[in-house]
Chains A and B, each alone.
Chain A
């Protein structure tokens, strides 16, 4: 499978500040990356699909001006939570789509970033 890293693994910030989370595909070039959010004891929620070299596609209800996504290269996508508030505290996870060598569409997840906004 694919190796995906995220940085930072956890972050605490004050309300009103912005936080950038990096997602890197370490062993292959990922044209598509996905950003998910997961609140405690809840299911994964897809926030947006990040496409290299083009604008991200956001899911309904996700504010694109608040959650800025940049997929500037085939190995790096970033999610910036702007003007963070306590309700943005969550577990943010990125994933990359496999190249389909074994199955069509499989996704591999990064280790996640736990954001706490105080």
Chain B
């Protein structure tokens, strides 16, 4: 079983819609959770982190954490074509563990 699991996608949403990206993790000791965005041919870029249960909003992005269910999600509101990328989920407990990423395509 992979430590951090994501649906590989591709996830396709129309422009202006809400994109919902999901992630589960197996290490209950994980303390912090991160979402990275990676454009094709580029390195990952940190877009959000969360370490408390509940929601955390930053602009069009909302991260959600449920430690009891070992579940992290990222919502992107008003999706734009420029949001098209692979989104990596990561969980940290001494070491950082990355998921394989979900490819998101936002269609104009």
Contact = CB atoms under 8 A, between A and B. Distances in A.
B34 A103 contact: yes
Contacts, number: 50
B42 A111 contact: yes
Contact of B51 (A1, A43, A44, A103): A103
Nearest to B49: A103
A57 B41 CA distance: 27
Main secondary structure of the interface of A (DSSP, over half): loop
Nearest to B90: A107
A34 B98 CA distance: 13
B92 to A, nearest CB: 4
Contacts of B31: 104-105
Interface in B28-77: 31-32, 34, 36, 41-46, 49, 51
B96 A109 contact: no
B45 A107 contact: no
Contact of A105 (B44, B45, B96, B99): B96
B42 A108 contact: no
Given A103-B34, A104-B51, A109 B43 contact: yes
Interface string B84-98: 000010101010101
The 7 closest A-B pairs by CB, nearest first: A105-B92, A43-B100, A103-B49, A112-B43, A109-B43, A104-B32, A93-B43
Interface of B: 31-32, 34, 36, 41-46, 49, 51, 88, 90, 92, 94, 96, 98-101
